[in-house]
């Protein structure tokens, strides 16, 4: 570990020992990480990965901490946050960005360049890397519709590789990256449709207003907890079970949208996991529907 810290400092890579993960989670939950890294460039990210792998430390690569639950006991290894590396370039109707670029920033840049197709992503609190990994989407749009290629670093071979089109294996909140544990997404290229900047901005504002009116944006959460079950809406099933407002510890099924679990204050990962299990059991018992988690438990 001393060697790793020395090399990180020499390369100017920002890092923090015993870093409280709750500070880097939209849930505001999580114990300390033995080491947290915050690279700001491609070179710093690749160096960080190389150092961690050579030291044989456990590694978790995280975007914005917006679709996951960190454990209460923390993580005894290295957690690399990509959000400090946020390059965006536009050529014609093609947008290329680093994994750490936020979806809101991408949508805003596209709108400024009079490019549509990304308005749906403006309110999703994640990064491009996480969005490609999960095929993030909202309001009828998803990453599958715009991603034409992506590059990743293979930690096993040390090579940088590229996926194109159908090679991504996109599905409902999934991609082939979920089956490639040694892959760390670096960048992605999106092909967008030209449009009116003013009309795109209007659409983004309308979707933002819809989010504010229907989602519990005033409380810490990890977004929608469950994937949409075929033929149903998770939130409706949960509400019909009478679970709106139901709490375990500081974790609560949102009173505004039953598809969300919120941190009412002092919630632990244990509270959230117990509440998720309770919701799944109630929906299974009442409707015979298996709710599949969208958020990741680390």
Q: Which of 104, 175, 224, 254 is catalytic?
A: 224
Determine how many CB atoms are found less than 10 A away from the CB of residue 23.
12
The residues near 105 (Cβ < 8 Å, ≥ 6 apart) are 86, 88
Distance (Å, whole) CA 189 – CA 203: 23
Please give the structure tokens belonging to residue 3: 């060697």
Contact 224, 265 (CB under 8 A): no
Whether residue 91 lies in the annotated active site: no
Sheet holding 159-164, edge to edge: 88-91, 94-98, 183-191, 147-154, 159-164
Cα–Cα distance for residue pair 202/185, rounded to 1 Å: 32
User: What is the C-alpha separation between 294 and 276, in angstroms, rounded?
Assistant: 11
The token duo for 70 is 């960190």
**Helix and strand counts by DSSP (H, E) for the chain:** 7, 17
Task: State yes or no: is 34 an active-site residue.
Answer: no
Residue pair 245/257 in contact by the 8 Å Cβ criterion: no
Name the token pair of 23.
Answer: 């500070």
Structure tokens at 254: 């949102």
For the chain, what percentages of helix, strand and coil (3-state, to nearest 5) are there?
A: 35, 30, 40
Q: How far apart are CA 97 and CA 131, in angstroms?
A: 12
Residue 294 is among the residues annotated as catalytic for this protein: yes
Catalytic-labelled residue, pool 155, 173, 175, 254 = 173
Please identify every residue annotated as catalytic: 173, 224, 294
């Amino acid at each position: 570990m001393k060697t790793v810290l020395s090399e990180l400092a020499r390369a100017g890579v920002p890092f923090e020992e015993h870093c409280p993960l709750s500070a880097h989670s939209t849930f505001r939950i999580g114990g300390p990480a033995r080491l947290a890294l915050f690279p700001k460039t491609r070179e710093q990210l690749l160096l960080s990965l190389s150092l961690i792998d050579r030291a044989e430390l456990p590694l978790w690569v995280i975007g914005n901490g917006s679709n996951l639950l960190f454990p209460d006991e923390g993580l005894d290894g290295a957690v690399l946050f990509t959000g400090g590396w946020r390059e965006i370039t536009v050529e014609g109707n093609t947008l290329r960005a680093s994994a750490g670029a936020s979806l809101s920033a991408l949508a805003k840049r596209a709108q400024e360049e009079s490019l549509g197709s990304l308005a749906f992503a403006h309110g999703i609190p994640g990064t491009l890397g996480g969005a490609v990994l999960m095929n993030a989407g909202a309001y009828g749009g998803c990453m599958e519709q715009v991603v034409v290629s992506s590059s990743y670093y293979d930690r096993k071979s040390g090579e940088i590789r590229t996926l194109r089109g159908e090679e991504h294996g996109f599905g409902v909140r999934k991609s082939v990256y979920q089956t490639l544990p040694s892959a760390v997404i670096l960048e992605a290229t999106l092909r967008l449709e030209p449009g009116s900047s003013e009309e795109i901005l209007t659409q983004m504002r309308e979707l933002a207003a819809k989010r504010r009116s229907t989602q519990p944006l005033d409380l810490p959460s990890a977004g929608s907890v469950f994937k949409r079950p075929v033929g149903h809406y998770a939130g409706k099933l949960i509400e019909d079970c009478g679970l709106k407002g139901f709490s375990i510890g500081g974790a609560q099924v949102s009173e505004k949208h039953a598809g969300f679990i919120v941190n009412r204050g002092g919630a632990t990962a244990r509270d959230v996991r117990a509440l998720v299990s309770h919701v799944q059991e109630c929906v299974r018992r009442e409707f015979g529907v298996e709710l599949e988690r969208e958020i990741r438990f680390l």
